[in-house]
Amino acid sequence: MKQVIGKKGKKERDVKGPGGVQINRKPFQSTRLKEEIYKPWLEKKDPAQRWARWITLISILVGVAVMAVICWDGYNSVPRLGNICPVLTEDFSNGLNTNVWTREVRVDGYGHGQFDYSTGSTNNSFVADNTLYLVPTLTSDVLGEAAIQNGYTLNLTADGTCTSTNVSQCVAVSNTSQLTVINPVMSARLTTRMSMNIRYGKVEVVARFPTGDWLWPSISLHPVNETYGKGPRSGSVDIVTGRGNNASYTQRGVDYAQSTLHWGPTNELDRAYLTWGYREQRRSAYNQGFRTFGFEWNENYLWTYIDSRVAQVVSLKFDQSFWNRGKFPSTITNTTTGDVVRLTNPWINSMNNNAPFDQPFYLTLSLGVGATDGWFPDGEGGKPWLDNSLSAMSDFWNAKNRWWNAWPSDPKIRGFAIKSVKMWKTC
């Protein structure tokens, strides 16, 4: 509705009547007020209004200034690594540099009971559009479906492709009567183990999570020499791990990203539950765009972050030894003999509070499929296997139609995409 000036100087309202006919209607006139109404506030403005306006404006400016100071103080409070020197700057513009990256070829599940067989095939790790993709494919596409279950032996030592010297990590046998199968999925795991590592420094990886149930993307650091022994005795860092399951998955799907430190005197006493954290995406997910996953580390602290140094996931100051931090028992029971034995501190000879995180570590990029170590909890999200079952991998394969048909057909969407990798060392 708009107002127009009538013939007598009064404001008239422009309205439409039936049929869209325009009608000029005069404003309502009071029958009691015959004279012009005196409005003194129009002649002289109240000074209080001016002050109220200025007070409001000043309050807004002060609020913005305070917020800026708080943000600056928060950012400035983040410790600095000091001088760092580049070790690796990889944008994959020249393809996959095999002088830097080693494709790990193994079938043992890397201690997690994963169902994938990591290969050296370009079907499972390739560069396209200046992006590295780690992609899961069906083993049956290469070996045939019959080989997965019916008496086939996959011997990676015999064909010379296995990257481990441990035969048990290189051989898989299918046997229908024993419910064992050849790893039903081929995937990829790339490392800098043979090329470069850092002892204190920084890592930033720009990546996008894969899409698909039971997929397990990971960016991690592992000890070069395992100074303190196998497993968590020498520590490892999951800069980021996740799941390809959609956001409806009750145990943190693709809308969650997690960081974890693994450390302890035995696998059973891994105190990872004391040093982990996650970040959730409420309106998107980590498979919908590229994010920066970072890690910083020196003699005094370490932390992981997403996109910004102040957006920390795990933050740890080395203000006490990991032996004291873990509050480990004085004795443990030998699971083989049943004997009770004294538990010893594997880091007792180190002079650093940050042992086992005081040695060189190399970088690993991997895409696992399934697991029997609890990463995918039993009974959640329609999980088709039980971790403690001897037929876990077989059960997973038999449920192929439930997960394979739900995986995107586009390998770039199904895969773990890595746009760039940067590593620095303190210098």
- Among residues 57, 77, 97, the one where a domain terminates is 77
Residue 68 sits in the same domain as residue 191: no
> Which positions ≥6 away from 273 have C-beta within 8 Å?
none
Separation CA 11–CA 3 (nearest Å): 6
Q: Is 137 exposed, middle or buried (0-12, 13-18, 19+ CB in 10 A)?
A: buried
Centroid of chain to Cα 280: 9
Separation CA 341–CA 333 (nearest Å): 6
Residue 70 sits in the same domain as residue 104: no
Residue 99 sits in the same domain as residue 186: yes
Residue 61 sits in the same domain as residue 201: no
What angle is formed at CA 155 by the lines to CA 150 and CA 159, rounded to 5 degrees? 135
Residue 272 sits in the same domain as residue 323: yes
Residue 189 sits in the same domain as residue 58: no
Does residue 22 sit within a domain? no
Residue 73 sits in the same domain as residue 175: no
b/e sequence 178-200, b meaning 16+ C-beta within 10 Å: ebebbbbbbbbbbbbbebbbbeb
Residue 98 sits in the same domain as residue 55: no
Residue 67 sits in the same domain as residue 210: no
Nearest to 118 by CA among 135, 140, 96: 135
pLDDT tens track of the chain, all 427 residues?
A: 444 444 444 445 555 555 555 666 666 666 666 667 767 666 666 677 777 778 888 888 888 888 877 766 666 666 778 899 999 999 999 999 999 999 999 999 999 999 999 999 999 999 999 999 999 999 999 999 999 999 999 999 999 999 999 999 999 999 988 889 999 999 999 999 999 999 999 999 999 999 999 999 999 999 999 999 999 999 999 999 999 999 999 999 999 999 999 999 999 999 999 999 999 998 899 999 999 999 999 999 999 999 998 899 999 999 999 999 999 999 988 877 888 889 999 999 998 999 999 999 999 999 999 999 999 999 999 999 999 999 999 999 999 999 999 999 999 999 999 999 999 999 9
- Among residues 77, 97, 116, the one where a domain terminates is 77
Residue 338, Ramachandran bin (φ over 0: left; ψ between -120 and 50: alpha; else beta):
left
Residue 165 sits in the same domain as residue 216: yes
Q: In the numeric block, which tokens belong to residue 372? A: 């029997």
Residue 53 sits in the same domain as residue 178: no
Does residue 149 sit within a domain? yes
| Tens-digit pLDDT profile for residues 339-371 | 888 999 999 999 899 999 999 999 999 999 999
Does residue 3 sit within a domain? no
Asked if residue 423 lies in contact with residue 197, where contact means CB atoms within 8 angstroms, the answer is no
What angle is formed at CA 108 by the lines to CA 106 and CA 111, rounded to 5 degrees? 120
Nearest to 119 by CA among 165, 156, 90, 144: 156
Does residue 34 sit within a domain? no
Separation CA 149–CA 328 (nearest Å): 43
Beta-ladder partners of 204: 294, 422
Does residue 364 sit within a domain? yes
Does residue 244 sit within a domain? yes
As for how many domains the chain has, the answer is 2
Domain that holds residue 172: 84-426
Does residue 310 sit within a domain? yes
Residue 56 sits in the same domain as residue 142: no
Does residue 213 sit within a domain? yes
- CATH number of the structural domain spanning residue 164: 2.60.120.200
